[in-house]
Amino acid sequence: MNELTKAEQQVMQQLWKLEKAFVRDIIAELPGPKPAYNTISTIVRILERKGFVKHEAFGKSHRYYPVVSKKEYTKGFFKGFLNNYFSNSMKNLVSFFAKDKSLSLSEMEELKSMLEDEIARQKAEKK
C-alpha cells in the first residue's frame, strides 16, 4: 500500500470522518487558512489514482468516498514504520519508548497489564 503525503493524509482524515463528501465539504472541515478548491480537488484526484478513494458523479460534480479504511491504512502504515525504524520488532519499539522516557511509569504498568491479559487469553485459547 502506498504511503500518503501529509496533505493526502489530511484529506483522507476528513473523508474517513465524513464517509462521503464533495470537495467543498472536505474544505469546510479543514482548519484555517482554508486551501484553494483546486488544491483539494487535485489531492482527491491523486488519492483516487492511488486507489484510496472512488467517486459518484452528480452531473459535473463528484462525491468522493474512501475505499481504504482508516484501520486498514493505519495497519499498513504502522507495519512499514515498524519495519523501517525498529527492524520489524515490537520489542525494539517498546524498548525505545521505555528507555527514551517517553512512557510514564503508569503507562508502562498499564502496558504490562495489557500484555499479561493477552498472554493469559492466548494460553487459554491453546487449551
Judged by DSSP in three states, 107 sits in helix
- Show me where the domains of the chain are located: 6-66, 89-127
Distance CA 73, CA 52 (A): 9
Which pLDDT score, from 0 to 100, does residue 94 have?
84
Determine if the peptide bond prior to 33 is cis (ω within 30°).
yes
Q: Give tens-digit pLDDT for 41-66.
A: 999 999 999 999 999 999 999 999 99
What 2-9 contacts at long range (C-beta under 8 Å, 24+ apart), as own/partner pairs, is 2/50, 2/51, 2/52, 3/77, 3/80, 4/47, 4/50, 4/52, 4/73, 7/43, 8/43, 8/46, 8/47, 8/50, 8/52
Q: 103 pLDDT band (50/70/90 cuts)?
A: confident
Q: Can you name the CATH fold of 6-66? A: Arc Repressor Mutant, subunit A (1.10.10)
Q: Give tens-digit pLDDT for 1-31.
A: 688 999 999 999 999 999 999 999 999 999 9
